[in-house]
Amino acid sequence: MLTRGSKGIDAGFLIGTIVTVTFAAATGYLNIVVLYLFGVPLLGLVAGLLVLWLSRSRTLYKVLVSLSILPIIIVSFLGWRWINSARPEVFLLPSGFRGEFVIFYEEPCGADEKMEGKNRLYEIPASGVLILNADSNPGLLNRRFYFVEENGRRVEFPEFGRQKFEIEMKEWDLYGNRSSIEPTLTRQTVGAFWAYGSGTAAIPNRSTGYIIANYDDWESMPNTATTEMRRDLVNRAKELMRTCQERALN
């Protein structure tokens, strides 16, 4: 039987409130898919609400706690994003650049980190290889890509999120930053495809890379590390890395 504490606070209400608030905050902050697969946050919220509403506290208090669930989830999720967000990144590429580029991190011989306001700046050379002594800026990514014309003017182009044009087309308007850069997506729209994942054994782990192409070119590329483009990039990267490390020793 539920009892009241020494100050008249219903124990069931107190326990239900603590459980409800805790699982609401955990749901927003953790947002881990595996938890939802097992229903842990949902079961915790249901259990907390059940204890809460079976208590003998005033209905108004129960309603207020119940209505607080969604705001707690939202605030907790935003807190998680703020804590785990990487610094915004800006990639500057020579106008007309096509093909693959790679950035190497945490190389003692590499260039220092460049900042532009709050943004980390990557100035990609024509070789497509940039070597830095900075870390990889881990966290939730916020990246923007620009071609730099001879007069210094920057022309932004989108980052593609899907490897198939048809899927990208369906989702294009879901992300306002992409559709604002390029309102109409076509197969000839040039963008940045994330390059590194499978089939990149020749590239060290402390690196990230993109391929600048349109969908016609992207879908015609063999998904293998033995393509001519990848071999050329790896050879350039090895040579530039060797030169960088030798220079650091002298």
Q: Determine the residue type at 112.
A: D
> How far apart are alpha carbons 52 and 62 in whole angstroms?
7
Contact in structure between 86 and 137 (CB atoms under 8 Å): yes
Give 159's contacts (C-beta < 8 A, 6+ positions apart). 143, 144, 145, 178, 191, 192, 194, 210
Q: What is the mean pLDDT of residues 150-176?
A: 89
**Helices (H) and strands (E) in the chain — how many of each?**
9, 9
Of 232, 246, 4, 218, residue with least CA distance to 102: 232
* pLDDT score at 64: 93
Mean pLDDT over the full length of the chain: 84
* pLDDT score at 51: 92
Six-digit token string for 211: 């391929």
Residue 154 burial by Cβ neighbours in a 10 Å radius (0-12, 13-18, 19+): middle
Strand blocks (E) in 174-234 = 191-194, 207-213
Angle 69-84/59-67 helices, nearest 10 degrees? 30
| Positive or negative torsion for Cα 241, 245, 246, 250 | positive
For the ranges 61-75, 151-165, 224-238, which has the lowest average pLDDT? Answer: 224-238
* pLDDT score at 197: 47
Q: What is the mean pLDDT of residues 15-42?
A: 75
- pTM assigned to the model: 0.73
| Positive or negative torsion for Cα 202, 208, 212, 213 | positive
> How far apart are alpha carbons 3 and 12 in whole angstroms?
7
Six-digit token string for 139: 């966290």
> How far apart are alpha carbons 189 and 195 in whole angstroms?
17
Give 46's contacts (C-beta < 8 A, 6+ positions apart). none
Q: Determine the residue type at 133.
A: N
* pLDDT score at 81: 79
Three-class secondary structure of residue 152 per DSSP: coil
Six-digit token string for 83: 């804590």
Q: Look at residue 3 and tell me whether its pLDDT is greater than 50.
A: no
Comparing 40 with 53, the larger pLDDT belongs to 53
* pLDDT score at 202: 55
Inter-CA distances, 165 with 72, 160, 184, 205, 215, Å: 38, 9, 13, 28, 6
- For residue range 89-135, list pLDDT tens digits in order: 999 999 999 999 999 998 999 999 999 999 999 999 999 999 999 98
> How far apart are alpha carbons 53 and 46 in whole angstroms?
10
H or E stretch including 89? strand 89-94
